[in-house]
């Protein structure tokens, strides 16, 4: 049996090297297609496309947020790697542009954490970080996939529970289908008996109309189609894989047949069961949207 996957999940990995700790987090939620957003330093821009392709290779749908951060594990600060000459040149340039308003210029220290202000050793530092990302990203995706699989199995159980509740109410409708038909026929014949003495009537013609009405009110065809759709739903869930869109389509079909059954029924018990069937179909639809 193929595994099922939710589009909701979380994966994380960490890589430590030369007093640098790199942390990678990937969060995913529902999306009709595939949407990937990166929240990371511009240092990692050279590998962004590779990371996107890696996500696309492992996941079919979802909205992904990728967070990549790094910090020193020793006492030194990030500011130790800042080049004073680059900072001084930047401040002088800004004040020159500001002219008479130079004294009003406000510069936050964190602005100098951008890669262009680092010492010349930044090239080596940057290469190390890129290598660490390439090392840690696959593990974060493995972790994310496990998380999505775990959530998928929970969703699968919820859908099966609602499917079983749907079938319980559907069984009530099926068992009353014959009674429903007979009650309609009995009511029409009773009306015929009431009026045939006071109004001229053509009994053969009337019976033809009764048969026509019974055919229009017959719900056996809907019952057979619902039965077939339920079997298809069971197979989809059992086979696993990318089941989200399949469930969505099948719920639409089940909803159509259920609505038709409800519109034909004049028996309260059938109408009540149809309402419950629609409630559980909506629950299945909601959960189905979470699947990949």
Residue 199 has pLDDT above 70, yes or no: no
What is the pTM for the complete model shown?
Answer: 0.69
Listing DSSP states for the chain in one string gives: ---B-BS-EEEEEEEEETTEEEEEEEEEE--SSEEEEEEE-GGGGGGHHHHHHHHHHH-SSEEEEEEEEEEESSS--GGGGB-HHHHHHHHHHHHHHHGGGGGG----GGGGGSGGGB-TTHHHHHHHHHHHHHHHHHHHHHHHHHHHHHHHHHHHHHHHHHHHHHHHHHHHHHHHHHHHHHHHHHHHHHHHHHHTTTS---HHHHHHHHHHHHHHH--HHHHHHHHHHHHHHHHHHHH-BS-HHHHHHHHHHHHHHHHHHHHH---HHHHHHHHHHHHHHHHHHHHHTTB-
Q: What is the pLDDT of residues 175-195, one digit of tens each?
A: 887 666 666 666 655 655 555
Domains of the chain in sequence order = 9-78+123-148 (3.30.230.10), 83-117 (no CATH), 152-288 (no CATH)
Q: What is the rounded average pLDDT of the residues 6-30?
A: 94
Q: Could you tell me which residue, 16 or 219, shows the higher pLDDT?
A: 16
Residue 254 has what pLDDT? 96
Q: What is the rounded average pLDDT of the residues 270-281?
A: 93
């Amino acid at each position: 049996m193929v595994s099922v996957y939710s589009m909701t999940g979380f994966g994380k990995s960490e890589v430590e090297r030369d007093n640098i700790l790199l942390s990678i987090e990937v969060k995913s939620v529902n999306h009709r297609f595939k949407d990937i957003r990166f929240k990371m330093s511009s240092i990692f821009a050279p590998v962004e496309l590779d990371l996107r392709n890696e996500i696309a290779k492992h996941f079919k749908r979802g909205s992904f947020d990728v967070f990549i951060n790094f910090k020193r594990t020793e006492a030194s600060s990030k500011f130790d790697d800042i080049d004073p000459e680059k900072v001084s040149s930047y401040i002088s340039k800004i004040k020159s542009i500001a002219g008479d308003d130079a004294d009003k210029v406000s510069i936050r220290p964190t602005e100098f954490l951008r890669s262009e202000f680092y010492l010349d050793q930044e090239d080596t530092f940057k290469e190390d970080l890129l290598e660490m990302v390439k090392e840690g990203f696959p593990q974060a995706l493995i972790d994310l996939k496990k998380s999505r699989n775990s959530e998928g199995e929970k969703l699968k159980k919820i859908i099966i529970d609602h499917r079983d509740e749907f079938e319980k109410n559907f069984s009530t409708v099926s068992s009353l289908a014959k009674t429903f038909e007979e009650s309609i026929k009995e009511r029409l014949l009773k009306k015929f008996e009431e009026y045939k003495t006071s109004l001229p009537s053509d009994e053969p013609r009337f019976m033809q109309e009764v048969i026509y009405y019974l055919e229009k009110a017959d719900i056996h065809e809907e019952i057979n189609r619902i039965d077939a759709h339920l079997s298809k739903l069971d197979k989809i869930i059992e086979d696993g894989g990318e089941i989200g869109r399949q469930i969505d389509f099948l719920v639409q079909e089940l909803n159509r047949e259920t609505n038709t059954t409800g519109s034909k029924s004049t028996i309260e018990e059938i109408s009540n069961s149809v309402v419950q069937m629609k409630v559980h179909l909506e629950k299945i639809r909601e959960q189905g949207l979470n699947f990949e």
